[in-house]
Amino acid sequence: MTIKVGDKMPAGVFTMPGQDGPQKITTDQLFAGKKVVLFSVPGAFTPTCDARHLPGFVQHAADFKAKGVDTVAAWPSTTCSS
């Protein structure tokens, strides 16, 4: 499925870290009424990801915010590649 700019995120549930361990959060809780940049990285938590994929999003987070983005979120991929 391809999601384009301005599309509504399909309904679903994410599991993410919480204060008391993993917590469920719905796409509506995360995205409703917000402008969100969601990206995935190949080989999350690998040296290549840390050095090449993630830094650009961190460096440009303020640029996204300046364009009205409320949240910049990374979702790890289970695929490992470099």
Catalytic residue among 41, 43, 49, 53: 49
Would residue 80 show up in a list of annotated catalytic residues for this protein? no
The residues spanned by each domain of the chain are 31-82
> 28: part of which helix (H) or strand (E)?
helix 27-31
Residue 60 has pLDDT above 70, yes or no: yes
CB atoms within 10 A of CB 82: 11
Q: What is the pTM of this model?
A: 0.65
The 10s digit of each residue's pLDDT in 1-56 is 777 888 888 899 988 888 999 999 898 998 889 998 888 777 666 777 677 777 88
User: Cα separation of 16 and 47, whole Å?
Assistant: 22
CB atoms within 10 A of CB 14: 13
Residue 63: pLDDT band with limits 50, 70, 90? very high
User: Cα separation of 42 and 51, whole Å?
Assistant: 12
Give residue 41's pLDDT: 73
User: Cα separation of 72 and 64, whole Å?
Assistant: 8
Residue 66 has pLDDT above 90, yes or no: yes
